[in-house]
Structure 1
Amino acid sequence: MGYDKPLPSPDPETRPFWDGCREGLLLIQKCSDCGQVRFPPTSYCPHCRSGAFDWIRASGRGRVFSWIVVRHPVPREVYAGDVPYVVALVTLDEGVRMVANIRGLEPEDVAADMRVEAMFDAVTPEITLPFFVPAAGSSGGE
């Protein structure tokens, strides 16, 4: 049975990120001129407007900044079997924020500032989705 949920459509700006995920790497951009890191990927630096950047490997570790628990699936026919699930805004240790699911614990156990680490789910041969789990030894607010 194939993956039946919406998938990202990599484009020239985002393809390196998705290729990294397929390799189990969380990649973010770093401006070659001012050094600012950024996510999501863009073709120019929002800080200094430079078009020069490198892709760098992020640690994959961060903290929960905010989250929601989805209990009413939309569309129902696609997500009914998944509820409840957590959609979180995670601040990576590098300073950028990323939206992803949190797995590996009950939704009620997610806490602000909880340490998390990235994992990867190869949902198709082309697309691997990042998600986060509690970091080893983590308890909320650690």
Structure 2
Amino acid sequence: MPHDKNPIEQSPEVAEFWQAARERRLLLKRCGDCGERHFYPRPYCPFCGSARTSWEQSSGRGTIYAFSRPRKLPQPLAMAVIELQEGVRLTSVIVEAELDRLAIGQEVEVYWRMGEPAPELAFTTIEAQEARGYATRAIAEAAGVGG
């Protein structure tokens, strides 16, 4: 079945999720009846069936619960189950990190891959993110930019 519309336009129930994704924010749903958080976004709670769900900002941080590293892909990545700090587990990919050094329990954070028709939810390791920040600051300092 071809996708004539982008994901943002397909379902009004998830439009807020995709808008937040474009702003590099991760939203979860929380049930107003049973209090459980869940992901992927949907209008009904998968735990109790309630339609009283609302959006909640995620920290975007979590740990690797499980992962697999396919070796013959066009770009390096690891498929993973991430357990967010909020307790929700979700399936995603880990990118832009030292994949040979991944470990169960390792801390990760959201790393949105911006593209069309919609951003792609991915994760990277905290170590890799800190290294990128250090490199960016060093380059700026060497160029005489910033404080």
For the aligned pair, the TM-score class normalised by the smaller chain equals 0.7 to 0.9
Q: Secondary structure at the match of 2:59?
A: coil
Task: Report deviation, 1:61.
Answer: 0.3
Q: Distance in 1 between matches of 2:121 and 2:30?
A: 20
| Letter paired with 2:7 | S
Matches within 5 A, 1:2-81: 9-10=7-8, 11-12=10-11, 13-73=13-73, 80=74
Q: What is the CA deviation profile of residues 69-94 of structure 1, one whole-angstrom value per residue up to 9, with x for unaligned ones?
A: 12234xxxxxx3x1x32111101011
Larger helix share, 1 or 2 = 2
- 8 A contact 2:64–2:104 mirrored in 1: yes
RMSD: 2.1
Q: Distance in 2 between matches of 1:70 and 1:87?
A: 8
Report the counterpart of residue 90 of structure 2 in structure 1: 98
Report the counterpart of residue 4 of structure 1 in structure 2: none
TM-score normalised by structure 1 residue count: 0.76
Report the counterpart of residue 113 of structure 1 in structure 2: 105
Larger strand share, 1 or 2 = 1
Report the counterpart of residue 134 of structure 1 in structure 2: 125
Q: Secondary structure at the match of 1:20?
A: helix
User: Aligned pair count?
Assistant: 122
Q: Distance in 1 between matches of 2:115 and 2:27?
A: 19
Q: What is the CA deviation profile of residues 39-80 of structure 1, one whole-angstrom value per residue up to 9, with x for unaligned ones?
A: 11222112221101111100000000111112234xxxxxx3
Q: Secondary structure at the match of 1:121?
A: coil
Task: Report deviation, 1:111.
Answer: 0.4
Q: Which has more radius of gyration?
A: 2
Q: Secondary structure at the match of 1:54?
A: strand
Q: Secondary structure at the match of 1:59?
A: coil
Task: Report deviation, 1:136.
Answer: 4.7
| Letter paired with 1:134 | T
Report the counterpart of residue 132 of structure 2 in structure 1: none
Identical residues among aligned pairs (%): 30
Structure of higher RCO (CA pairs closer than 8 Å, 6+ residues apart): 1
